[in-house]
Protein backbone atom coordinates (compact mmCIF):
# COMPACT_ATOMS: atom_id res chain seq x y z
CA UNK A 1 0.00 0.00 0.00
CA UNK A 2 2.86 2.31 0.81
CA UNK A 3 4.29 1.86 -2.70
CA UNK A 4 0.95 2.69 -4.27
CA UNK A 5 0.84 5.94 -2.29
CA UNK A 6 4.37 6.82 -3.43
CA UNK A 7 3.54 6.02 -7.05
CA UNK A 8 0.35 8.09 -6.90
CA UNK A 9 2.24 10.98 -5.35
CA UNK A 10 4.92 10.86 -8.03
CA UNK A 11 2.38 10.63 -10.85
CA UNK A 12 0.51 13.64 -9.46
CA UNK A 13 3.75 15.57 -9.16
CA UNK A 14 4.66 14.90 -12.79
CA UNK A 15 1.13 15.59 -13.98
CA UNK A 16 1.21 19.04 -12.38
CA UNK A 17 4.44 20.04 -14.09
CA UNK A 18 4.21 21.75 -17.48
CA UNK A 19 5.58 19.96 -20.47
CA UNK A 20 8.93 21.62 -21.21
CA UNK A 21 8.64 20.57 -24.85
CA UNK A 22 5.72 23.02 -25.20
CA UNK A 23 7.79 26.02 -24.07
CA UNK A 24 8.74 28.26 -27.00
CA UNK A 25 12.45 28.09 -27.76
CA UNK A 26 13.09 29.85 -31.06
CA UNK A 27 12.47 33.52 -31.74
CA UNK A 28 9.61 32.60 -34.04
CA UNK A 29 8.01 30.37 -31.41
CA UNK A 30 8.33 33.13 -28.80
CA UNK A 31 6.72 35.73 -31.09
CA UNK A 32 3.86 33.34 -31.84
CA UNK A 33 3.34 32.33 -28.20
CA UNK A 34 1.38 35.39 -27.07
CA UNK A 35 -0.27 38.67 -27.93
CA UNK A 36 2.10 41.49 -27.07
CA UNK A 37 1.32 44.84 -25.45
CA UNK A 38 3.55 47.88 -25.06
CA UNK A 39 5.27 48.30 -21.72
CA UNK A 40 7.52 51.24 -22.58
CA UNK A 41 8.71 53.38 -25.48
CA UNK A 42 11.75 55.62 -25.39
CA UNK A 43 12.72 57.84 -28.29
CA UNK A 44 15.14 60.40 -29.61
CA UNK A 45 14.88 62.74 -32.55
CA UNK A 46 11.52 64.43 -33.12
CA UNK A 47 10.31 62.83 -29.87
CA UNK A 48 12.68 62.57 -26.91
CA UNK A 49 12.76 60.60 -23.68
CA UNK A 50 10.14 58.21 -22.38
CA UNK A 51 7.21 58.56 -24.73
CA UNK A 52 5.08 55.97 -22.95
CA UNK A 53 5.38 53.77 -19.88
CA UNK A 54 2.60 51.46 -18.71
CA UNK A 55 1.25 52.54 -15.36
CA UNK A 56 2.43 56.16 -15.52
CA UNK A 57 -0.16 58.88 -15.25
CA UNK A 58 -1.22 60.79 -18.34
CA UNK A 59 1.01 63.66 -17.18
CA UNK A 60 4.01 61.30 -17.14
CA UNK A 61 3.52 59.83 -20.62
CA UNK A 62 3.17 61.85 -23.79
CA UNK A 63 0.82 59.35 -25.45
CA UNK A 64 -1.58 56.67 -24.23
CA UNK A 65 -0.58 53.38 -25.83
CA UNK A 66 -2.16 51.08 -23.26
CA UNK A 67 -4.59 49.50 -25.74
CA UNK A 68 -2.06 48.68 -28.47
CA UNK A 69 -1.71 44.94 -29.10
CA UNK A 70 0.37 43.01 -31.63
CA UNK A 71 -0.23 39.38 -32.54
CA UNK A 72 1.93 37.29 -34.87
CA UNK A 73 0.60 34.25 -36.74
CA UNK A 74 2.45 31.22 -38.08
CA UNK A 75 1.28 31.93 -41.65
CA UNK A 76 3.39 35.12 -41.72
CA UNK A 77 0.58 37.56 -41.02
CA UNK A 78 0.18 39.84 -38.04
CA UNK A 79 -2.63 41.83 -36.48
CA UNK A 80 -2.25 45.12 -34.62
CA UNK A 81 -4.82 46.93 -32.49
CA UNK A 82 -4.28 50.71 -32.33
CA UNK A 83 -4.10 53.03 -29.33
CA UNK A 84 -7.90 53.56 -29.31
CA UNK A 85 -8.51 49.83 -29.06
CA UNK A 86 -11.04 50.12 -31.88
CA UNK A 87 -9.06 49.86 -35.11
CA UNK A 88 -7.02 46.96 -36.41
CA UNK A 89 -4.41 46.63 -39.11
CA UNK A 90 -3.25 43.39 -40.63
CA UNK A 91 -0.01 42.89 -42.44
CA UNK A 92 2.89 40.53 -42.96
CA UNK A 93 5.90 39.79 -40.79
CA UNK A 94 9.12 37.83 -40.99
CA UNK A 95 12.41 37.53 -39.20
CA UNK A 96 15.40 38.49 -41.34
CA UNK A 97 19.21 38.68 -41.10
CA UNK A 98 19.66 35.52 -39.03
CA UNK A 99 16.64 36.40 -36.85
CA UNK A 100 18.29 39.63 -35.67
CA UNK A 101 15.65 41.85 -37.27
CA UNK A 102 11.86 41.89 -37.57
CA UNK A 103 10.29 43.13 -40.78
CA UNK A 104 6.62 44.16 -40.78
CA UNK A 105 4.96 45.22 -44.03
CA UNK A 106 1.63 45.96 -45.70
CA UNK A 107 -0.14 47.36 -42.61
CA UNK A 108 -0.31 50.88 -44.07
CA UNK A 109 0.82 52.28 -40.70
CA UNK A 110 4.17 54.03 -40.90
CA UNK A 111 4.90 53.20 -37.25
CA UNK A 112 4.57 49.45 -37.87
CA UNK A 113 5.84 49.04 -41.41
CA UNK A 114 9.60 48.70 -41.63
CA UNK A 115 12.54 46.83 -40.16
CA UNK A 116 13.42 46.82 -36.48
CA UNK A 117 16.43 45.47 -34.62
CA UNK A 118 15.54 42.76 -32.12
CA UNK A 119 17.32 43.75 -28.90
CA UNK A 120 15.71 41.11 -26.67
CA UNK A 121 13.19 38.38 -27.32
CA UNK A 122 12.22 36.26 -24.34
CA UNK A 123 8.93 34.75 -23.22
CA UNK A 124 8.55 37.66 -20.80
CA UNK A 125 9.66 40.58 -22.98
CA UNK A 126 10.20 41.63 -26.56
CA UNK A 127 12.38 44.70 -27.13
CA UNK A 128 13.02 46.10 -30.57
CA UNK A 129 14.31 49.38 -31.93
CA UNK A 130 14.32 51.26 -35.18
CA UNK A 131 13.92 54.56 -36.97
CA UNK A 132 10.74 55.95 -38.50
CA UNK A 133 9.91 59.22 -40.21
CA UNK A 134 7.35 61.22 -38.19
CA UNK A 135 6.13 64.67 -39.26
CA UNK A 136 9.04 65.02 -41.70
CA UNK A 137 11.59 64.22 -38.99
CA UNK A 138 13.26 61.02 -37.88
CA UNK A 139 12.44 59.31 -34.60
CA UNK A 140 14.71 56.64 -33.18
CA UNK A 141 12.69 54.50 -30.81
CA UNK A 142 13.07 51.50 -28.56
CA UNK A 143 9.88 49.60 -27.79
CA UNK A 144 9.54 47.13 -24.94
CA UNK A 145 6.57 44.79 -25.20
CA UNK A 146 5.31 42.21 -22.72
CA UNK A 147 2.65 39.49 -22.95
CA UNK A 148 -0.85 40.94 -22.77
CA UNK A 149 -3.08 39.58 -19.99
In CATH terms, 21-147 corresponds, of 3.20.20.70, 3.40.50.10860, 3.40.1160.10, 2.40.128.280, to 2.40.128.280
pLDDT of residue 124: 96
pLDDT tens for 31-59 read 999 999 999 989 888 778 888 888 876 55
Q: 121 pLDDT exceeds 60?
A: yes
How buried is 122 (Cβ within 10 angstroms: 0-12 exposed, 13-18 middle, 19+ buried)? exposed
pLDDT of residue 75: 97
Q: In angstroms, rounded to a whole number, what is the distance separating the alpha carbons of residues 53 and 148?
A: 15
pLDDT of residue 54: 87
Angle, CA 72 vertex, CA 135 and CA 68 arms, to 5°: 45
Query: Do 146 and 37 form a contact (C-beta atoms < 8 A)?
Result: yes
Domain ranges, ordered by start, for the chain = 21-147
pLDDT of residue 102: 96
pLDDT tens for 57-95 read 655 556 788 888 999 999 999 999 988 888 999 999 999
Query: Do 102 and 95 form a contact (C-beta atoms < 8 A)?
Result: yes
Q: In angstroms, rounded to a whole number, what is the distance separating the alpha carbons of residues 40 and 90?
A: 22
Angle, CA 70 vertex, CA 53 and CA 138 arms, to 5°: 60
Global confidence as pTM: 0.79
Amino acid sequence: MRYIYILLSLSMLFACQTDASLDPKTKTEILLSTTWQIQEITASGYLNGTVYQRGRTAEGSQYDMSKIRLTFYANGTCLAIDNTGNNTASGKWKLINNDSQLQISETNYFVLDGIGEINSLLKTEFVFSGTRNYKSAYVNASVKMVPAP
